[in-house]
A and B are shown apart, each in its own frame.
Chain A
Amino acid sequence: MEIRTYIQNIAIIILLIIIQVKFSYLYSISDIRPDILLVFLVRQSIKYPSPTRSLIRGFLAGIIIDLLIGDVIGVSSLIYSLAGFFTSYYKRNKGYLALSNKFILFSVIFIVASTIFYLVTLSHYPLLKNIFFVALPSAIYGIIIIWIIQVFKPLK
Chain B
Amino acid sequence: MNSHQKIKVIREWIYLGIAIVTSIFFILFNNSSFNNTLSKFGLDAFSILNYDYFSLREKASLEKEIILIKQKLVKLSQDKKLFEEAFKENIRLKNLLSIELPESLSYVYARVTGKPASSLQNTLLINAGTEKNIVDGEMVISEDGFIGVIKNAGKYLSKVTLISNPSNKIPVVTEHSKISGIMLSLNKKTAEILEITKSQSVEIGEKVFTSDFSKLYYPNLLIGEIISVSDSSATINKKVIIKYAADFLNVKDVFIIHKSKE
Contact = CB atoms under 8 A, between A and B. Distances in A.
Contacts of A25: 115
A24 B12 contact: no
Interface of B: 11-12, 15-16, 19-20, 22-27, 30, 35, 38-39, 41-43, 46, 49-50, 113-123, 125, 159, 165-167, 249
Interface string A23-64: 011001001110100000000000000011001101100111
A51 B12 contact: yes
A134 B35 CA distance: 27
Residue among B27, B38, B120, B249 facing the most chain A CB atoms (10 A cut-off): B120
A87 interface: no
A131 interface: no
A118 B123 CA distance: 14
Nearest to A22: B114
Contacts of B159: 69
Contacts of B41: 67
A69 B125 contact: yes
Contacts of B122: 71
Given A68-B42, A69-B123, A74 B27 contact: yes
Contacts of A59: 19, 22-23
Contacts of A66: 26
- Those 8 A-B pairs whose CB atoms lie nearest each other, nearest first: A74-B26, A67-B42, A78-B23, A74-B27, A21-B114, A31-B119, A81-B19, A124-B166
A77 interface: yes
Given A24-B117, A31-B249, A118-B118, A55 B16 contact: yes
Interface of A: 14, 18, 20-22, 24-25, 28, 31-33, 35, 51-52, 55-56, 58-59, 62-75, 77-78, 81-82, 85, 89, 118, 120-122, 124-125, 134, 138
A148 B192 CA distance: 42
Nearest to B124: A69
Given A51-B16, A73-B30, A124-B166, A134 B118 contact: yes
B39 A73 contact: yes
Contact of B20 (A14, A78, A122): A78
Given A74-B27, A121-B121, A52 B12 contact: yes
A33 B119 contact: yes
B26 A77 contact: yes
Nearest to A34: B117
A75 B23 contact: yes
Nearest to A120: B27
